[in-house]
């Protein structure tokens, strides 16, 4: 039976370190990390995400600012707000909650955020740094960054000689995940919906990362015995008693019989995403204060 990778516990470890380093930063430099979260409209899921991020920031000792704009807000007004946050020395991280209303160009908005305050890691400068191996100075998207820490807890930081397969090629998870694994000396395959014989490709993986958004697609017989399985998927499915439950992209019941270690859903990668947002914000504040960024 596979080791269950407890993302909630690892996230708590990261948050504990963020709290400690935040208090030390404030005491030694007078700099308090500042996180601004911007939400446009009233999407219920986005509201939940934003409130949890704001709460966690306050818990870490950050200055936490939330800007809630009406759904009909014009793009220029949002861009003007971002410009003012870019210029605010007390704000070190800016997060614009996606999705944005259809009349706003999300790509333009994201690229307006100053790269040194782009704690989501979506600006082209941060993307370029990650792709070229400048992982020490890049802000990495929070979900792959958190997934990497979970892998390191099982396999260590140097993954030389290991085969990694990332199923999914999104800009938010799949591509940055592949680049992080490359930087750790993995041999990396990026698979997707057009990959021939996907089960056979998955079976080559010592480290398998599932990020496709299809519930329980990856079955137990797709997994190499002893592999480390990181399930990024969060899917809500109906149950026989007319309720719903959350499942990942991996069939956990089958996979845990074969894998060496596996993340559950929920309680695996999910908690790490917000923890890494806090870590990125602290890093941004540390860099702004002329200090080295902390490691997690």
The angle formed by the CA atoms of residues 30, 31 and 35, to the nearest 5 degrees, is: 150
Token pair, residue 113, equals: 């955020």
Model confidence at 198, pLDDT cuts 50, 70, 90, reads very high
The predicted model gives 144-149 an average pLDDT of 98
Provide the 3-class DSSP secondary structure of residue 35.
Answer: strand
With 90 as the cut, is the pLDDT of residue 32 above it? yes
Q: What local confidence, expressed as pLDDT, does residue 225 receive?
A: 98
Q: What local confidence, expressed as pLDDT, does residue 180 receive?
A: 96
Q: Angle at which helices 124-131 and 174-183 pack, to 10 degrees?
A: 40
| Whether 118 is catalytic | no
CATH no. for 142-270: 3.40.50.720
What pairing do the DSSP bridges indicate for beta strands 244-247 and 261-262?
unpaired
Model confidence at 175, pLDDT cuts 50, 70, 90, reads very high
In the chain, what is the straight-line distance between the N-terminal and C-terminal CA atoms, in Å?
28
Q: What local confidence, expressed as pLDDT, does residue 239 receive?
A: 86
Q: Choose, from 56, 97, 117, 118, the residue flagged as catalytic.
A: 97
Lowest mean pLDDT among 128-132, 204-208, 235-239, 249-253: 235-239
Q: What local confidence, expressed as pLDDT, does residue 133 receive?
A: 87
With 90 as the cut, is the pLDDT of residue 241 above it? no
In this prediction the pTM is 0.95
The candidate with the shortest Cα–Cα distance to 147, out of 106, 186, 95, 201, is: 186
Q: What is the pLDDT of residues 37-91, one digit of tens each?
A: 999 998 888 888 899 999 999 999 999 999 999 999 999 999 999 999 999 999 9
| Whether 120 is catalytic | yes
φ, ψ of residue 167 in degrees (nearest 5): -95, 105
Instruction: Indicate the average pLDDT of the chain.
Output: 96
The predicted model gives 285-296 an average pLDDT of 95
Contacts of 215 (CB under 8 A, 6+ apart): 233, 235, 237, 247, 248, 249
Alpha-helical segments (H) within 30-65: 44-59
Q: Choose, from 120, 206, 249, 251, the residue flagged as catalytic.
A: 120
Q: Do domains 29-115 and 142-270 have the same CATH topology?
A: yes
Identify the residue with better confidence: 37 or 242.
37
User: For the domain with range 29-115, which CATH number is right: 3.30.360.10, 1.10.10.60, 3.40.50.720, 3.40.50.10860?
Assistant: 3.40.50.10860
Q: What local confidence, expressed as pLDDT, does residue 70 receive?
A: 96
The candidate with the shortest Cα–Cα distance to 226, out of 153, 146, 159, 154, is: 154
Model confidence at 29, pLDDT cuts 50, 70, 90, reads very high
Q: What local confidence, expressed as pLDDT, does residue 137 receive?
A: 84
Q: What local confidence, expressed as pLDDT, does residue 254 receive?
A: 98
Model confidence at 193, pLDDT cuts 50, 70, 90, reads confident
Give residue limits of the domains in the chain.
Answer: 29-115, 142-270
Q: Angle at which helices 174-183 and 142-155 pack, to 10 degrees?
A: 40
The predicted model gives 98-111 an average pLDDT of 96
């Amino acid at each position: 039976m596979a080791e269950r990778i407890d993302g909630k516990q690892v996230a708590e470890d990261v948050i504990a370190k963020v709290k400690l380093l935040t208090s030390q930063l404030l005491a030694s430099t007078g700099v308090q990390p500042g996180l601004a979260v911007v939400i446009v409209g009233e999407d219920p899921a986005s509201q939940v995400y934003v409130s949890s991020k704001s709460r966690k920031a306050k818990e870490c000792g950050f200055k936490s600012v939330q800007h809630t704009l009406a759904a009909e807000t014009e793009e220029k007004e949002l861009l003007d707000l971002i410009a003012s946050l870019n210029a605010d020395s007390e704000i070190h991280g800016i997060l614009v909650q996606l999705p944005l209303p259809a009349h706003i160009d999300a790509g333009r908005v994201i690229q307006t955020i100053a790269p040194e305050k782009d704690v989501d890691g979506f600006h082209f400068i941060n993307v370029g740094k990650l792709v070229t191996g400048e992982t020490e100075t890049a802000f990495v998207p929070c979900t792959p960054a958190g997934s990497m820490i979970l892998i390191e807890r099982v396999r260590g930081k140097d993954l030389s000689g290991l085969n990694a397969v990332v199923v999914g090629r999104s800009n938010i998870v799949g591509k940055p995940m592949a680049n992080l694994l490359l930087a750790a000396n993995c041999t990396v395959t990026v698979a997707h919906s057009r990959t021939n014989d996907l089960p056979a490709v998955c079976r080559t993986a010592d480290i398998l990362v599932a990020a496709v958004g299809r519930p329980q697609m990856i079955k137990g017989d797709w997994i190499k015995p002893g592999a480390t399985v990181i399930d990024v998927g969060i899917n809500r499915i109906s149950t026989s008693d007319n309720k719903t439950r959350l499942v990942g992209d991996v069939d956990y019941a089958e996979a845990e019989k074969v894998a060496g270690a596996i993340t559950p859903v929920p309680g695996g990668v999910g908690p790490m995403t917000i923890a890494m947002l806090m870590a990125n914000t602290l890093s941004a504040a540390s860099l702004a204060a002329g200090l080295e960024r902390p490691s997690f």
